[in-house]
């Protein structure tokens, strides 16, 4: 098992994860039918996002939360997203940055879920 060390590793992680997302019966409709994600544009953004977080590249600029606010997502979607992300990391990587990737993904899911739930209640 290898460690996350390079942008190539991050790209592999992101590609492997979104391959699972696109096959998932709960998440695929959100990404493909509702959000109509342009994968050609989205994937480089995700490479930059995760490379910035894990490798300190500082290549990502933007604010990811507002794009998620209009999506019809509930806690079960966050739970599944996180399950697939952790599974992808566990299947492919080990070490400090693998743990960091899972911790960051957990924090992102928790914060986004809280904000969406709070906004939709208001």
* pTM (2 d.p.): 0.92
pLDDT of residue 116: 87
Number of C-beta neighbours around residue 114 at 10 A: 11
59 lies in which domain range?
2-121
What is the distance between the alpha carbons of residues 107 and 76, in angstroms, rounded to a whole number? Answer: 16
Give how many domains the chain has, as a whole number.
1
- Bridge partner residues of 3 (DSSP): 94
Domain CATH for 83: 1.10.490.10
Sequence-distant (≥ 6) Cβ neighbours of residue 61 within 8 angstroms: none
How far, CA to CA in Å, does 76 sit from each of 7, 30, 56, 80, 82? 30, 12, 31, 6, 10
pLDDT of residue 68: 85
pLDDT in tens, 67-111: 888 888 999 999 999 999 999 999 999 999 999 999 999 999 999
Structure token digits, residue 51: 């490379």
């Amino acid at each position: 098992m290898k460690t996350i060390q390079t942008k190539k590793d991050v790209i592999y992680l992101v590609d492997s994860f979104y391959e699972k997302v696109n096959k998932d019966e709960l998440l695929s409709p959100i990404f493909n039918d509702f959000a109509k994600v342009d994968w050609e544009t989205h994937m480089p953004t995700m490479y930059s996002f995760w490379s910035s977080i894990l490798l300190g590249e500082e290549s990502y600029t933007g604010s990811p939360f507002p794009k998620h606010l209009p999506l019809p997502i509930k806690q079960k979607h966050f739970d599944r997203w996180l399950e697939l992300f952790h599974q992808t990391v566990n299947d492919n990587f080990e070490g400090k940055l693998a743990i960091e990737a899972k911790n960051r993904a957990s924090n992102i899911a928790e914060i986004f879920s809280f904000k969406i739930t709070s906004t939709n209640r208001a």
